[in-house]
A and B are shown apart, each in its own frame.
Chain A
Amino acid sequence: MDGIHDLGGMQGFGAVDHAPAEPVFHEPWEGRARALMEVVLGAVQPNGGEFRHAIERMVPGHYLTSSYYEHWLTAAATLAVEHGLLAREDLEARAGGAFPLSGPVLAPPVTDPGADRGEPRFGIGDQVRVREWHPPGHTRCPRYIRGKVGVVVRLDGNYSVPDVEAHGSARRHEPTYSVRFDAAELWSDGQPGVWVHVDLWESYLEPA
């Protein structure tokens, strides 16, 4: 989905709040939220990519005004409610206020994943163009490279496609690639001498 999580290249965020030495957890609740996420995932056994997609479905305003551990908390609670483990009313009664969850899944379940792709279609040095598409579900193809041309620099083996597995029990395996893009291809104000590499499943790509 074209969600708020897909941040590459967006402008207006300002400086990085960078601290060279930073504790693992800033507040005790962060560590607890991290552990609770593992408890929920163990209990509901989500499909691969389903947890990430639950974060992606967060309401944009909430996403941008909460820390990453709050994202994990929200996604864990969302999956707990969607899988029937807990009721939202109970969460809110205990919390003593609203407990925002992520928005609904926009994509239909995937029932026919299509055939696995075995042999890589592309080799190192091949020019590829990223498909210009806007799938409503989970995908690991960032928006900022769609329609752009790059060069394959590495083959990483075949893996289950997140776009399929996040939306049901079906699976499709495909080759994955690291693709190098010239910053000048990605941005009209691309900085010279910059290469951006993005790791992509084969069905995200077409020959260029």
Chain B
Amino acid sequence: MSEGTHHPAAMAPVEHRVAALEALLTERGLIPEGFIEQTVHRYETEIGPMNGAKVVARAWADPDYKRRLLADGTAAIAELGFGGAEGDHMVVVENTPTVHNVIVCTLCSCYPWPTLGLPPAWYKDPPYRARMVREPRVLLAEMGCELPEDTEIRVWDSSAEVRYLVLPQRPAGTERMTEADLAGLVSRDSMIGVARL
């Protein structure tokens, strides 16, 4: 099976390779009826940054919840019903007027699925993973997140079991907003740390 003995041929288009794998697994009876459609539907509708936005809004609205969230992210996020794979060990890092946090996975694509959903393509692609640990100030500015020179930047490379969520600063002028309306302000990018609100 080594590359050396394998006859060269043009690479099949990726759609054809996916279809080939699916066909062979189906013939072996390994794919339950509807499994693929249900899996896709679940990722498209049930998990996503709207979950993380509820966590952030609760933390903004309830100082006790915020304290619990920063002390034990996993437990506080579970209070809102979110948890599971890639969210079993959550650490929430708080942005302040002088500190900005941003998350990355230089080795693969680690990301807090229960609160943010599946990661966007750019988060998994080489430019982001290569550059965020080396020149975060420049990269953040390129991505539209210009920080004052004296803002401390804390980069979190999720290389072990912990998954991170950034708690963005609550925007000024939102004191009268309801928790649900606050959640509507919270973008995925602000919880990764590549945007401020």
- Enumerate chain A interface residues (CB-CB to B < 8 A): 5-11, 13-20, 22, 24-27, 29, 31-36, 38-40, 42-43, 52, 55, 59, 64, 66-68, 70, 73, 76-77, 80-81, 85-86, 88, 90-92, 94-101, 103-104, 140-142, 144, 154, 156-157, 159, 176, 178, 183, 186-187, 189-191, 193-201
Contact = CB atoms under 8 A, between A and B. Distances in A.
Contacts of A142: 106-107, 157, 159
Nearest to B108: A52
B25 A36 contact: yes
A197 B162 CA distance: 12
Interface residues of B, number: 79
Contact of B162 (A7, A20, A33, A178): A178
Contact of A91 (B24, B31, B160, B188): B24
Nearest to B136: A194
A187 B134 CA distance: 7
A24 B125 contact: no
B19 A191 contact: no
A88 B21 contact: no
A68 B79 CA distance: 32
Contacts of A76: 21
A194 B137 contact: yes
B35 to A, nearest CB: 6
A73 B14 contact: yes
B152 interface: yes
A134 B118 CA distance: 31
B172 interface: no
Question: Which of B19, B21, B109 has its CB near the most chain A CB atoms (within 10 A)?
Answer: B21
B175 interface: no
Given A8-B106, A17-B122, A199-B159, A95 B39 contact: no
B19 A94 contact: yes
A91 B122 contact: no
Given A19-B122, A156-B160, 14 more contacts: A7-B107, A9-B133, A19-B120, A25-B44, A36-B21, A42-B30, A52-B107, A59-B3, A73-B17, A86-B21, A144-B106, A178-B91, A191-B137, A199-B160
A195 B159 CA distance: 15
Contacts of A194: 136-137, 152-153, 155
B24 A86 contact: yes
B137 A98 contact: no
29 contacts: A5-B107, A7-B106, A9-B130, A16-B125, A16-B131, A20-B189, A22-B122, A24-B44, A24-B48, A26-B121, A31-B40, A32-B18, A33-B21, A38-B39, A66-B14, A77-B21, A92-B12, A92-B20, A95-B17, A99-B12, A140-B107, A141-B159, A142-B157, A144-B106, A157-B89, A159-B161, A178-B156, A183-B134, A193-B151
Contacts of B162: 156, 176, 178, 199
